[in-house]
């Protein structure tokens, strides 16, 4: 911000001398007082597009005011030239970017003898989200927004909403974990029930959405038999993702590494140093995946996540067998926290693993970028050095930033978008690397995410099947009489389930490219699970939820079945008509992007029903929305 520097004087000394140095003329001293000047304070809640008044109160004790001149010194131009008036009215430009805009104005009061007084006024104008902008950021930043959440966000700026969400207490899923009736231990279905309750009923929706994204990057899965019967450990692992969603990626990486669920899933729990006599070699599984999937990827990357090329135009590998063996040695000597000895294991899938030095490889370890851990280092110190080595590699920022953008905003971010976010990962502005709160803000506040000045025609991403269901369930108060969400076979129905991927490579790869998108150079990760089986399964599930299991269509409810409640929508239709209901659906389910063609199709469907069929009309409208292409795309 630039300010003019003014010299204010309460009096001026004028000396006039005639003749030589012997003149006896008396110096003349001016006693003119500077004008009085004050500016009415500006409130702090200024928004872009607002019209405001700037008022100056002036006076002169020994003369008269000859001019009161306003000039703009900062911000988008609203005064193209100085204005001579005691008060001015200005209209701030509408939002042209997500960023707040600082404005400053100076006012100069001048009296009849030329004395001046100068004051400045400055303020920050922020965006004020209308219902469409609020709906859009909540589509991207929640597990599926409700109408009340959209209305609560209206009037806030995008940054204010993000900061409010980040300030909310963490709603851990462990608190929702309860045993099934007549069971004395936790079952797989109990953690699924807890996950539903966490994502459906938590206020910290942004954290829930980010943790869901992280669960598809730092993957564990109880589809694997080695952790399939550990629901308490699985939910504890998910809570690690919730804990660190706005924390530091380095700390997240350490907690993930020491999780006994991850240690079991990728087999570094119980990993021991080499013993040639017993033909034991350190397990290399986690060593490979922590590099390939959790930190740096397979190829050296530019900051925009495009691959670096050597002089021959080939990609450059990030690591080789020496690094795999080095990191495999790093992850030796760790086992369950409750174990008395390394070999005498006491299984504890909740608490972080602990180390036994005698089973840790003390051999030299080759890491990334030529770093070496010399012989003799113990397991705890070795782990810290190795994780720092991974975390500080240049690939981590673009590799993780791009995947988070893909999971949260768009499948095809521009290189410029990735670069802007990766820079924040490298430095949050205060010299801190890996600050996920700053990274998440950068992702959501980027002009590409907010559609400011974007020239892209391929914005957005396909919604994940679970996300489409969650939004309907959150809006329609989906519940069972007995309070349990006993949803079996999620993977068979949706092609995905929480921490239920078929492998460490998630349900789909971030670079999955259907044949028909290759000529455009675009990817669509979620389409990797959009096969005939899942598409039919998802459509049938939406029909069952929204048509068959609308509670208002039942004379009695089974306590074990899940029902949705559409009475509010029925009342809206009855009281305000179909056009008003579709206006509401446009905001709620389409973030304002419902096309004329889709609206007409919904009107045609509504006209099929007679006047007293409001329940059927609403159910089928919701079902058509659920299977419409526009609803299934997050813009």
What is the per-residue pLDDT across 236-252, written as a single tens digit (0 to 9) for each? 999 999 999 999 999 99
As a whole number of angstroms, the distance between CA 80 and CA 570 comes to 53
Determine the pLDDT at residue 516: 93
**Residues 124, 101: contact at Cβ < 8 Å?**
yes
Determine the pLDDT at residue 457: 61
As a whole number of angstroms, the distance between CA 623 and CA 620 comes to 5
Instruction: Name the residue with tokens 């119980």.
Output: 270
Say whether pLDDT at 216 is over 50.
yes
Element (H, E) at 66: strand 65-74
Q: Give 482's DSSP letter.
A: T
The per-residue b/e assignment along 323-343, b for 16 or more CB within 10 angstroms, e otherwise, is: bbbbbbbbbbbbbbbebeebe
Q: Give 547's DSSP letter.
A: I
Determine the pLDDT at residue 6: 33
Element (H, E) at 28: strand 28-29
Determine the pLDDT at residue 13: 31
DSSP 82-111: -EESSEEEEEPPPPSSSS-EEEEEEEEEEE
Say whether pLDDT at 2 is over 50.
no
Residues 126-140 pLDDT 10s: 889 999 999 999 999
Say whether pLDDT at 584 is over 50.
yes
As a whole number of angstroms, the distance between CA 566 and CA 614 comes to 10
pTM above 0.75, yes or no: yes
Residues 499-550 pLDDT 10s: 999 999 999 999 999 999 999 999 999 999 998 889 999 999 999 999 999 9
Q: Give 545's DSSP letter.
A: I
Given pLDDT bands bounded at 50, 70 and 90, which one contains residue 439? very high
**Residues 245, 207: contact at Cβ < 8 Å?**
yes
List where CATH 2.60.40.10 sits in the chain.
Answer: 13-125
Biggest alpha carbon–alpha carbon distance for the chain: 117
Residues 349-363 pLDDT 10s: 999 999 999 999 999
Determine the pLDDT at residue 499: 98
**Residues 529, 568: contact at Cβ < 8 Å?**
no
As a whole number of angstroms, the distance between CA 208 and CA 190 comes to 18
What percentage of the chain carries pLDDT values higher than 90? 89
Determine the pLDDT at residue 484: 96
Higher pLDDT, 379 or 42: 379
Cα–chain center distance at 585: 24
Instruction: Name the residue with tokens 């007084």.
Output: 117
Both tokens assigned to 209: 């959405």
Neighbours of 254 (CB within 10 A): 18
Cα–chain center distance at 141: 6
As a whole number of angstroms, the distance between CA 146 and CA 132 comes to 13
Both tokens assigned to 173: 């899923």
As a whole number of angstroms, the distance between CA 301 and CA 213 comes to 22
Question: For 169-194, what is the mean pLDDT?
Answer: 97
As a whole number of angstroms, the distance between CA 539 and CA 493 comes to 9
**Residues 99, 106: contact at Cβ < 8 Å?**
no
As a whole number of angstroms, the distance between CA 419 and CA 424 comes to 9
Say whether pLDDT at 17 is over 70.
no
The CATH number of 13-125, from 2.40.50.100, 3.40.50.300, 2.60.40.10, 3.50.50.60, is 2.60.40.10
Element (H, E) at 372: strand 372-373
Say whether pLDDT at 309 is over 90.
yes
As a whole number of angstroms, the distance between CA 564 and CA 544 comes to 10
**Residues 58, 84: contact at Cβ < 8 Å?**
no
As a whole number of angstroms, the distance between CA 264 and CA 260 comes to 6
Determine the pLDDT at residue 342: 96
The three-state secondary structure class of 371 is: coil
Which residues make beta-bridge pairs with 74? 104
Determine the pLDDT at residue 12: 34
Question: For 93-103, what is the mean pLDDT?
Answer: 84
CA distances 480 to 176, 294, 471, 564, Å, are 15, 38, 17, 9
């Amino acid at each position: 911000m630039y300010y003019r520097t003014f010299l204010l004087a309460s009096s001026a000394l004028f000396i006039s001398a005639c003749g030589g140095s012997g003149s006896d003329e008396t110096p003349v001293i001016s006693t003119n007082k500077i004008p009085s000047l004050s500016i009415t304070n500006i409130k702090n809640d200024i928004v872009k597009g607002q019209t405001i008044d700037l008022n100056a109160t002036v006076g002169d004790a020994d003369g008269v005011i000859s001019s009161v001149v306003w000039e703009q010194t900062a911000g988008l131009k609203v005064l193209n030239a100085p204005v001579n008036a005691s008060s001015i009215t200005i209209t701030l430009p509408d939002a042209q970017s997500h960023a707040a805009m600082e404005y400053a104005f100076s006012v100069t009061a001048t009296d009849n003898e030329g004395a001046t007084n100068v004051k400045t006024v400055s303020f920050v104008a922020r965006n004020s989200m209308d219902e469409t902008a609020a709906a859009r950021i909540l589509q991207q930043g929640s597990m599926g927004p409700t109408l009340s959440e959209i209305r609560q966000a209206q009037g806030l700026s995008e940054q204010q909403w993000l900061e409010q969400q980040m300030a909310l207490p963490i709603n851990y899923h462990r608190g929702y974990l309860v045993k099934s009736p007549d069971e004395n231990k936790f079952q797989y279905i109990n953690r699924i029930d807890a996950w539903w309750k966490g994502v459906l009923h938590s206020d910290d929706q942004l954290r829930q959405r980010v943790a869901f994204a992280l669960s598809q990057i730092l993957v564990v899965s109880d589809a694997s038999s080695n952790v399939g019967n550990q629901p308490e450990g699985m939910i504890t692992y998910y809570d690690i993702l919730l804990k660190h969603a706005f924390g530091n990626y380095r700390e997240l990486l350490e907690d993930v590494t020491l999780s006994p669920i991850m240690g079991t899933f990728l087999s570094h729990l119980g990993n021991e140093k080499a013993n040639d006599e017993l033909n034991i070699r350190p397990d290399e599984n986690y060593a490979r995946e922590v590099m390939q999937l959790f930190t740096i990827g397979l190829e050296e990357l530019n900051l925009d996540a495009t691959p670096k090329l050597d002089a021959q135009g080939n990609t450059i590998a990030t690591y080789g067998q020496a690094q795999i063996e080095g990191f495999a040695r790093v992850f030796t000597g760790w086992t369950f926290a409750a174990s008395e000895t390394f070999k005498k294991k006491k299984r504890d899938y909740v608490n972080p693993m602990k180390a036994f030095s005698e089973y840790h490889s003390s051999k030299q370890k080759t890491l990334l970028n030529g770093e070496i851990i010399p012989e003799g280092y113990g397991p705890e110190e070795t782990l810290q050095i190795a994780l720092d080595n991974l975390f500080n590699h240049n690939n981590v920022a673009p590799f993780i930033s791009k995947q988070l953008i893909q999971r949260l905003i768009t499948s095809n971010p521009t290189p410029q978008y990735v670069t802007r976010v990766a820079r924040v990962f490298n430095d949050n502005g205060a010299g801190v690397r890996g600050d996920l709160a700053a990274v998440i803000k950068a992702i959501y506040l980027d002009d590409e995410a907010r559609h400011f000045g974007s020239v892209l025609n391929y914005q957005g991403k396909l919604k994940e099947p679970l996300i489409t269901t969650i939004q309907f369930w959150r809006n329609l108060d989906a519940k069972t009489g007995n309070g349990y969400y006993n949803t079996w076979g999620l993977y068979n129905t949706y092609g995905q389930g929480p921490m239920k991927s078929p492998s460490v490579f998630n349900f789909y790869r971030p670079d999955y490219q259907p044949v028909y998108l290759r000529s455009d150079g675009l990817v669509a990760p979620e389409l990797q699970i959009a096969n005939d089986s899942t598409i039919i399964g998802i459509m049938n599930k939406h029909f069952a939820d929204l048509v068959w299991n609308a509670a208002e269509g039942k004379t009695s409810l089974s306590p074990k079945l899940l029902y949705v409640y559409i009475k509010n929508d029925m009342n809206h239709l009855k009281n305000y008509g179909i056009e008003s209901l579709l206006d509401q659906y446009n905001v709620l389910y389409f973030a304002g992007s419902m096309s004329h063609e889709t609206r007409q199709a919904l009107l045609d469907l509504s006209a099929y029903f007679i006047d007293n069929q409001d329940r059927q009309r609403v159910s089928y409208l919701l079902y058509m929305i659920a299977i419409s292409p526009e609803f299934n795309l997050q813009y």
